[in-house]
Copies of this chain bind each other. A is one copy, B any other.
Amino acid sequence: MTREKMNNLSHIERLCIKKGLKMTGQRRVIAHVLSHAHDHPDVEELYRRASKLDNNISVATVYRTVRLLEEKGILEKHDFGGGRARYEVTEQGTHYHLIDVDTGKVIEFEDPEHIKMIEIMAKKLGFELVQHRLELFGRRIKTEQDS
Protein backbone atom coordinates (compact mmCIF):
# COMPACT_ATOMS: atom_id res chain seq x y z
CA MET A 1 0.00 0.00 0.00
CA THR A 2 1.27 3.46 -0.84
CA ARG A 3 0.38 6.79 0.60
CA GLU A 4 -1.91 7.57 -2.34
CA LYS A 5 -4.13 4.57 -1.69
CA MET A 6 -4.82 5.95 1.76
CA ASN A 7 -7.00 8.74 0.49
CA ASN A 8 -9.90 9.11 2.93
CA LEU A 9 -9.37 11.26 6.01
CA SER A 10 -8.71 9.31 9.16
CA HIS A 11 -10.19 10.12 12.52
CA ILE A 12 -6.88 11.40 13.88
CA GLU A 13 -6.19 13.43 10.80
CA ARG A 14 -9.49 15.18 11.35
CA LEU A 15 -8.49 15.93 14.94
CA CYS A 16 -5.16 17.29 13.78
CA ILE A 17 -6.82 19.62 11.31
CA LYS A 18 -9.21 20.77 14.00
CA LYS A 19 -6.19 21.64 16.16
CA GLY A 20 -4.71 23.59 13.26
CA LEU A 21 -1.74 21.33 12.64
CA LYS A 22 0.02 21.48 9.32
CA MET A 23 -0.77 18.19 7.64
CA THR A 24 2.28 16.84 5.96
CA GLY A 25 2.38 13.53 4.16
CA GLN A 26 4.20 11.93 7.06
CA ARG A 27 1.69 13.15 9.60
CA ARG A 28 -1.16 11.88 7.49
CA VAL A 29 0.40 8.44 7.41
CA ILE A 30 1.09 8.39 11.13
CA ALA A 31 -2.43 9.63 11.82
CA HIS A 32 -3.78 6.84 9.67
CA VAL A 33 -1.73 4.23 11.48
CA LEU A 34 -2.87 5.53 14.85
CA SER A 35 -6.50 5.61 13.78
CA HIS A 36 -6.34 1.98 12.86
CA ALA A 37 -4.32 0.78 15.83
CA HIS A 38 -6.43 -0.88 18.44
CA ASP A 39 -3.52 -1.73 20.67
CA HIS A 40 -0.77 0.22 22.45
CA PRO A 41 2.14 0.45 20.03
CA ASP A 42 5.51 1.93 20.88
CA VAL A 43 7.37 4.30 18.58
CA GLU A 44 9.32 1.48 16.97
CA GLU A 45 6.10 -0.30 16.08
CA LEU A 46 4.42 2.87 14.80
CA TYR A 47 7.47 3.49 12.67
CA ARG A 48 7.26 -0.04 11.30
CA ARG A 49 3.59 0.29 10.43
CA ALA A 50 3.99 3.75 8.96
CA SER A 51 6.96 2.64 6.87
CA LYS A 52 4.82 -0.04 5.26
CA LEU A 53 2.50 2.67 3.95
CA ASP A 54 5.22 5.09 3.03
CA ASN A 55 8.90 4.32 3.18
CA ASN A 56 9.80 8.00 3.32
CA ILE A 57 9.38 8.41 7.06
CA SER A 58 12.08 8.61 9.71
CA VAL A 59 11.89 7.52 13.33
CA ALA A 60 12.70 11.06 14.37
CA THR A 61 9.48 12.21 12.75
CA VAL A 62 7.50 9.55 14.53
CA TYR A 63 9.00 10.68 17.84
CA ARG A 64 8.26 14.31 17.05
CA THR A 65 4.74 13.52 15.96
CA VAL A 66 3.74 11.44 18.96
CA ARG A 67 5.10 14.12 21.25
CA LEU A 68 3.11 16.76 19.40
CA LEU A 69 -0.06 14.71 19.45
CA GLU A 70 0.41 14.00 23.12
CA GLU A 71 0.76 17.70 23.84
CA LYS A 72 -2.43 18.31 21.88
CA GLY A 73 -4.20 15.70 23.94
CA ILE A 74 -4.83 13.48 20.93
CA LEU A 75 -2.58 10.71 22.19
CA GLU A 76 -1.83 9.25 25.57
CA LYS A 77 1.55 7.98 26.58
CA HIS A 78 1.87 4.96 28.85
CA ASP A 79 4.62 3.19 30.65
CA PHE A 80 3.82 -0.49 30.85
CA GLY A 81 7.38 -1.45 31.66
CA GLY A 82 9.83 -2.72 29.10
CA GLY A 83 11.58 0.58 28.72
CA ARG A 84 9.70 2.11 25.81
CA ALA A 85 6.77 4.47 25.93
CA ARG A 86 3.56 3.18 24.42
CA TYR A 87 0.79 5.20 22.88
CA GLU A 88 -2.90 5.08 22.32
CA VAL A 89 -5.52 7.43 21.03
CA THR A 90 -7.20 9.40 23.79
CA GLU A 91 -10.72 8.28 24.41
CA GLN A 92 -13.43 10.04 26.28
CA GLY A 93 -13.57 8.77 29.85
CA THR A 94 -10.54 7.45 31.70
CA HIS A 95 -9.93 3.76 31.35
CA TYR A 96 -7.50 1.43 32.99
CA HIS A 97 -5.13 -1.30 32.03
CA LEU A 98 -4.73 -4.82 33.28
CA ILE A 99 -1.48 -6.35 32.14
CA ASP A 100 -1.30 -10.14 31.94
CA VAL A 101 2.02 -10.89 33.61
CA ASP A 102 2.44 -14.12 31.71
CA THR A 103 1.74 -12.92 28.19
CA GLY A 104 2.25 -9.16 28.43
CA LYS A 105 -1.17 -8.62 26.84
CA VAL A 106 -3.00 -5.50 27.90
CA ILE A 107 -6.69 -5.52 28.67
CA GLU A 108 -8.59 -2.27 28.91
CA PHE A 109 -11.50 -1.61 31.18
CA GLU A 110 -13.23 1.28 32.84
CA ASP A 111 -14.87 1.86 36.15
CA PRO A 112 -16.68 5.11 36.92
CA GLU A 113 -17.07 4.02 40.55
CA HIS A 114 -13.34 3.90 40.87
CA ILE A 115 -12.94 7.42 39.59
CA LYS A 116 -15.39 8.70 42.18
CA MET A 117 -13.47 6.85 44.85
CA ILE A 118 -10.14 8.36 44.04
CA GLU A 119 -11.52 11.84 43.61
CA ILE A 120 -12.61 11.53 47.21
CA MET A 121 -9.19 10.16 48.15
CA ALA A 122 -7.49 13.17 46.63
CA LYS A 123 -9.87 15.60 48.28
CA LYS A 124 -9.20 14.03 51.67
CA LEU A 125 -5.54 14.77 51.13
CA GLY A 126 -6.31 18.36 50.21
CA PHE A 127 -5.88 18.00 46.47
CA GLU A 128 -7.95 18.41 43.39
CA LEU A 129 -7.45 15.42 41.11
CA VAL A 130 -5.85 16.43 37.82
CA GLN A 131 -4.99 13.05 36.44
CA HIS A 132 -4.47 9.51 37.58
CA ARG A 133 -3.09 6.21 36.58
CA LEU A 134 -4.13 2.74 37.63
CA GLU A 135 -2.47 -0.36 36.37
CA LEU A 136 -3.21 -3.89 37.45
CA PHE A 137 -0.85 -6.75 36.87
CA GLY A 138 -2.52 -10.12 37.05
CA ARG A 139 -2.49 -13.76 36.19
CA ARG A 140 -5.34 -15.44 34.34
CA ILE A 141 -7.49 -17.59 36.60
CA LYS A 142 -7.68 -21.13 35.24
CA THR A 143 -11.18 -22.34 34.36
CA GLU A 144 -12.65 -25.68 33.26
CA GLN A 145 -12.33 -24.69 29.59
CA ASP A 146 -8.57 -24.30 29.88
CA SER A 147 -6.97 -27.48 28.52
Contact = CB atoms under 8 A, between A and B. Distances in A.
A128 B118 CA distance: 22
A134 B122 CA distance: 12
B139 A128 contact: yes
Given A101-B130, A127-B98, A109 B138 contact: no
A23 interface: no
Question: From DSSP, what is the main secondary structure of chain A's interface residues?
Answer: strand
Interface string A111-126: 1011001100111011
Q: Which of A98, A127, A135 has the most CB of B within 10 A?
A: A127
A125 B139 contact: no
Q: Which of A111, A117, A136 has the most CB of B within 10 A?
A: A136
A129 B118 CA distance: 19
A94 to B, nearest CB: 12
B134 A118 contact: yes
Contact of A132 (B127, B131, B132, B137): B137
Interface in A80-116: 98, 100-101, 107, 109, 111, 113-114
